[in-house]
């Protein structure tokens, strides 16, 4: 696709393509320093999962789930960061990728155990990019004012399972 054609992408066309649920593969990073092994045990990993749901009107909900999982499967410090955003104009072209304007309307991080602490993550930013309207991948960059928890990832559209739904016709044995 030529750059001139890409620049003619309307917000409605882009949102039509982006609407739905996007996920990144679960990321597992070993916790292998001495302190982590003392606290969580040998074989523990940091786990991060990312889900982005985009509505046809451009409203988006980014959920970042983090925890530490021990070798035996015990979960430590589960947390979720929830970012509400809106995707709108203008759509720019940078290095061959479409970049819609993304405005964070709220961001909150909360722990799911213990005292259920939570705090606002004011100043957080999200940027999205994709190659074109046929792209099966969506790149995301999440930035925080202090850099803690910032990351970049590639998301793919979540496929809905159809097994076990709907009616099935059955033949009688002959």
Placement of tokens 């889900």 in the chain: 51
As a whole number, mean pLDDT of residues 7-35 equals 92
Q: For residue 100, list its beta bridge partners.
A: 91
As a whole number, mean pLDDT of residues 79-99 equals 94
In a domain, 164, yes or no: no
- Looking at the structure of the chain, the number of domains it has is 1
Quick count: other Cβ atoms within 10 Å of Cβ 94?
Answer: 9
Residue 169 has pLDDT above 70, yes or no: no
In a domain, 90, yes or no: yes
CA distance 67 to 96: 35
In a domain, 169, yes or no: no
8 to 22, 81, 98, 101, 152: CA distances (angstroms): 24, 34, 11, 15, 27
In a domain, 165, yes or no: no
In a domain, 145, yes or no: yes
The mean pLDDT value of the chain amounts to: 87
In a domain, 174, yes or no: no
In a domain, 73, yes or no: yes
Band (pLDDT 50/70/90 cuts) for residue 113 is confident
Instruction: For residue 101, give the 3-state DSSP assignment.
Output: strand
Q: What are the tens digits of pLDDT across the range 74-84?
A: 999 999 999 99
Domain coverage including residue 17:
3-157
Q: Are strands 97-111 and 75-94 parallel, antiparallel or unpaired?
A: antiparallel
């Amino acid at each position: 696709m030529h750059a001139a054609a890409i620049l003619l992408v309307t917000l409605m066309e882009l949102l039509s393509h982006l609407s739905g649920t996007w996920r990144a593969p679960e990321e597992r990073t070993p916790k292998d320093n001495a302190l982590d092994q003392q606290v969580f045990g040998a074989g523990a990993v940091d786990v991060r999962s990312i889900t982005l749901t985009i509505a046809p009107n451009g409203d988006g909900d980014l959920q970042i789930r983090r925890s530490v999982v021990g070798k035996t499967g015990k979960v430590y410090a589960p947390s979720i960061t929830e970012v509400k955003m809106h995707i709108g104009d203008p759509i720019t072209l940078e290095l061959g990728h479409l970049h819609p304007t993304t405005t964070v309307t709220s961001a909150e991080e909360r722990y799911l155990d213990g005292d259920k602490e939570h705090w606002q993550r004011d100043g957080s930013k999200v940027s999205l990019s994709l190659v074109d309207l046929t792209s099966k991948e969506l790149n995301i960059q999440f930035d925080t004012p202090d850099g803690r928890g910032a990351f970049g990832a590639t998301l793919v559209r979540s496929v809905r399972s159809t097994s076990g739904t709907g009616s099935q016709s059955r033949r009688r044995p002959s």
